[in-house]
């Protein structure tokens, strides 16, 4: 995840996210010369973060989501209600349950709206193999406040935010 941290690589990554598909597009979007663009692409390509497909260069944005899920699983891994990054049960005690729900809510980006299907996918990964189903967790997240819901759309309305 540290690959885009260097300024030129960060500019290259931003250009790719915003639609650049060639090194020339990246140079035009960033103001970097060709050498700096190629240097900015070298390590992300080697690491598999940038690939060339039918439409040209592409930043594999899905890897950021996967890395975030791994980080979240590691953060929650010490909890007795989570084993191997999976929620095995919900605490009966409301305070502990609330704390766990707030940590689970970090799987959702603040400000982003999620259709019910995406919420089910995210929570399904947490609940797979455990005693708690994703529907129960979703209900608790809404009832306890870390998520809000209207018209089949969910958004994060609580929980910790990293700044």
What would the pLDDT profile of 20-74 be if each residue is shown by its tens digit? 999 999 999 999 999 999 999 998 888 888 899 888 999 887 777 666 655 655 5
More confident residue, 74 or 15: 15
120/110 Cα distance (integer angstroms): 17
> Under a CB-based contact definition with an 8 Å cutoff, are residues 122 and 76 in contact?
no
Coil vs helix vs strand at 156 = strand
pTM for this one?
0.54
Please, which residues have CB within 8 angstroms of residue 67's CB and are 6 or more apart in sequence?
A: 1
Residue 163 has pLDDT above 60, yes or no: no
| DSSP 8-state symbol, 110 | B
Please provide residue 26's backbone torsions phi and psi, each rounded to the nearest 5 degrees: -65, -45
HEC assignment per residue over 125-147: HHHCCCCCCHHHHHHHHHHHCCE
Mean pLDDT over each residue of the chain, to the nearest integer = 86
Tokens of 134: 């994703």
87/76 Cα distance (integer angstroms): 9
Quote the pLDDT of residue 29. 96
Query: For the CA atoms of 16, 19, 24, 26, what is the dihedral angle to 10 degrees?
Result: -40
Quote the pLDDT of residue 75. 55
What would the pLDDT profile of 131-141 be if each residue is shown by its tens digit? 899 999 999 99
Domain definitions of the chain by residue range: 3-60, 63-156
Residue 119 has pLDDT above 90, yes or no: yes
What is the second-level CATH architecture of the domain 3-60?
Answer: Orthogonal Bundle (1.10)
């Amino acid at each position: 995840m540290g690959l885009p941290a260097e300024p030129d690589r960060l500019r290259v990554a931003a250009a790719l996210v915003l639609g650049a598909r060639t090194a020339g597009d990246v140079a035009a979007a960033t103001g970097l010369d060709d050498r700096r663009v190629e240097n900015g692409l070298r390590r992300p390509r080697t690491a598999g973060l940038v690939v060339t497909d039918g439409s040209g260069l592409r930043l594999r944005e899905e890897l950021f989501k996967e890395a975030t899920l791994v980080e979240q699983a590691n953060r929650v891994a010490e909890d007795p209600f989570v084993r191997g990054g999976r929620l095995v049960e919900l605490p009966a005690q409301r305070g502990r349950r609330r704390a766990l729900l707030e940590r689970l809510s970090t799987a959702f980006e603040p400000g982003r709206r999620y259709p019910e299907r995406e919420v089910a996918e995210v929570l399904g990964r947490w609940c797979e193999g455990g005693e708690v189903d994703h529907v129960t967790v979703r209900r608790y997240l809404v009832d306890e406040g870390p998520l809000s819901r209207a018209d089949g759309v969910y958004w994060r309305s609580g929980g910790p935010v990293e700044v």
